[in-house]
Amino acid sequence: MPSATLNGVRSLTNNKDPAAPGNSVFNVMPSDSERIHNLTNLDPPYPSESLTFLRTLRAQRDIDSNVSTTPEQARLKLEITIVGAGLGGIATAIALARRGHSVLILEQAPELGEVGAGIQIPPNSGRLLRKWGVSKHLQKSAVQPESINFRRWQDGSVIGYTDLGSEFKTLYEEPYQVVHRAHFHDALYQRAVELGVKVKLNSRVVEYDAEGAAVVLEDGSIVKSDLVIAADGVKSVARSLIHPQGNHEPRLSGFAAYRATVDVSKMRSDPEIAQIIERPSLNIWIGEDRHIMTYTIAGGNSFNMVLSHKDLSDPSTWVQESAVENMKKEFSGWDPKLIILGDAAHAMLPYMSEGAAMAVEDGAAIAVAINRLHSTKELRFALKTFEVERIKRSGDMVDASAINGILWHFADGPEQQARDAAMRAEVEGRSFSSSANQWSDPVTQNWAYGYDAEKAMQDAWDQAVSDLIAERV
């Protein structure tokens, strides 16, 4: 396909008849910027390592300058309804709209916004957000921590250390970022509007017609489309449609979190506290059944704290944990025109700080999965392929989050001592090939942050297509 465009350019420029309508050399020659774009984005027209070098340079320039890249446009442009304008719903809308789909988001709330405090944007979602042109809207508010420091609950001594400096940024082509949820949400919303996404507030969906790809709103009106994506959060109504027999109620994790933000200027006067905010870092104090996580957000002006502890008393407002062990089963009755994603599909303990990142990846993946359709009849195949890839990825992240919940919360004793010893090399700046700290452990780190949701989905798609062809011959 790329060479077709280049050939096209050649045949046009070879046309020597300046009298032919619209064929003056000035009309048919691509502009300099078009030619450079073609050369640096398409298959090389001649053998060249220098061109490969130039492409890498250009790609880096695009990353540095926040330029959103233009993706391959969807063959079949669909009308898509997304239920829920949370982080997952809007991210998915962006992923779909930039490929040419027409997207309408229905949100039950009377106004848009995110409550709560900080959220981390790891590179696996940050790379997508940059490519999608969201990062420019985050520039003023996002903070790039230099490190993640695990500290002993008793005295704050550093027992685990993940370097997020230049080596990390180069390796994952994106910094680790932390931001206020409201700023993140606003950045997504701004980009979605730029791409023509429509958001309808006060629109609570009360019924889904999965076969007809339609939803019924509280006021009785019906919205029809080609595909419905429910990003309706941990208390998802759509989830029960996808798996009618299962238990869909969010389940208590046994942990709860207090979240708070403090004005950084008020903290500077206390020298003991001031040292924590001296450099932008994530600090996590870990101890038996409790941890405290802190980092600065809002351009460094606000100090975010999450205090997690055992608590069964207040499940409805600030515990987000659903029946994760049923997650894979929940997808078994997948319907061709209705899918769920984000917390609706895989709410998890927040201990890998990857819940919203998984929703961003879901959005990237669904956009790729439906990009090559010729007809809506192929939706079932595309959504099945999406399902298999995303269940694996998000299911593994659910498990990784649960593992952090065990590792961090050891009581003082032999297990705690063994864990701290297994993280000592990174604290002392010695080289290490494994760590009990999942954020530092090279294998886990690369799996978490090196994952390219679009490429993984494309590979899964290609594999599914060749499997299908093999089945039929």
Ligand X SMILES: Cc1cc2nc3c(=O)[nH]c(=O)nc-3n(C[C@H](O)[C@H](O)[C@H](O)COP(=O)(O)OP(=O)(O)OC[C@H]3O[C@@H](n4cnc5c(N)ncnc54)[C@H](O)[C@@H]3O)c2cc1C
| Chain residues in the site for ligand X (CB under 6 A) | 83-89, 106-109, 119-120, 204-205, 231-234, 237, 257, 259, 306, 320, 342-344, 350, 353-357, 359
Q: Whose Cβ is closer to ligand X: residue 89's or residue 336's?
A: 89
Report the alpha-carbon distance of residue 329 to residue 327 in Å, rounded.
Answer: 5
| Residue 102 β-bridge partners | 79
Q: Whose Cβ is closer to ligand X: residue 218's or residue 270's?
A: 218
Q: Any idea what DSSP says for residue 345? A: H
Please report the DSSP string for 126-165 in residue order.
Answer: HHHHHHTT-GGGTTTT-B--SEEEEEETTT--EEEEEE-S
* Sign for the pseudo-dihedral over CA of 218, 219, 220, 224: negative
Closest separation between CB of residue 111 and ligand X, Å? 11
Report the alpha-carbon distance of residue 340 to residue 235 in Å, rounded.
Answer: 12
Closest separation between CB of residue 318 and ligand X, Å? 7
Phi first, then psi: give them for residue 293, nearest 5 degrees. -115, 135
Q: Whose Cβ is closer to ligand X: residue 183's or residue 420's?
A: 183
Length of the chain: 473
Q: Whose Cβ is closer to ligand X: residue 96's or residue 106's?
A: 106
N-to-C CA span, the chain: 26
Closest separation between CB of residue 392 and ligand X, Å? 18
Q: Whose Cβ is closer to ligand X: residue 88's or residue 100's?
A: 88
Give the contacts of 395 (CB within 8 A, at least 6 positions apart). Answer: 324, 327, 328, 346
Closest separation between CB of residue 351 and ligand X, Å? 9
Closest separation between CB of residue 435 and ligand X, Å? 20
Q: Whose Cβ is closer to ligand X: residue 204's or residue 372's?
A: 204
Q: How far is CA 288 from the centre of its chain?
A: 31
Closest separation between CB of residue 4 and ligand X, Å? 39
